Structure 1
Amino acid sequence: MASGNAIRGSRIGSSRGGEPERGTPAPRTWVTFWCENRHETTRGFAQDDDVDIPELWDCPRCGLPAGTDRDNPPQAQKVAPFKTHLAYVKERRTDADGEALLDEALEALRARRDG
C-alpha cells in the first residue's frame, strides 16, 4: 500500500504556482458554441490578430456542427449513402445503352470463340 502523504494526480510544475517561471498565459477570448441538440461548448481562443475564431465547431458530446448563434444552430449535413460502382454506371447509362454494350461484348466473344 502507498504511503498516505503522496499527492495524487499532480506533478511538479502542474499547478498555477509554476507560472512565474513560465510566464503568464496569453489573454483569451471565450466563445460559446451550440449544436442542434442544444449542447453548449465553450472554448478559449488567444486574443491575437493572427487567430481566426471558427464559425463552426464540432460538438464534443454528439459530433454535430455547432455555431455561435444559440437560437439558430447549424443544421447537420445530409450524408449520402454509399454507392457501388454499378449504381454510378446506372446513373450514366440507360437500360438501352446497357443492352447495346452487352450485345456488342457478346458478339466479340462469339467471334473470338468461332474464329
Structure 2
Amino acid sequence: MAERTLRGARLGGQSFEDERGIEFAARQQVGYRCPQDHEFEITMSVEADVPAVWECPRCGAEALSTAGIKPEEKAEKPARTHWDMLLERRSEKELEDILKERLELLRGGEIGPAHLHRANAKKRSASA
C-alpha cells in the first residue's frame, strides 16, 4: 500500500488538476430579502430560471427576489366536501330513497348496533 500513495499528498488536500484552458459558465448574482430584512445574494448561471422565492439562510423564512420577480399565483381549487363527492355519484332523490330504506331497516332491527336491538326487543316483549 505504501508504494501506491502519492508522496506529499494529504487527505482532503488540493486538487492536482490545472484550471488553465477551462472556461467557466457565465454567472449572475441574484439578490433576495426576507421579511426580517435579511439580504443575501445567490450565485446562479445566467441561463438558469431565477426563482422568485428562496429560503433565507439566516432565519429560514421565504425571501423574495429584489429584482422584482413576483411569485406565480397558484389557482386554488375549492375544497371538495364529502357531500360534493356524493352528489357527483347520486342525485338527491336517490339519496332520499336510500336514507328512507336504511332507516326502515334500522328501525326494524335488521341493521345497526346490537345493543339497540336488545333494548327494542325488551320493549317489544314487555308491551306484548
Give the TM-score of the pair, scaled to structure 1. 0.46
RCO (CA 8 Å, sep 6+): is it higher in 1 or 2? 1
Pair member with larger Rg: 2
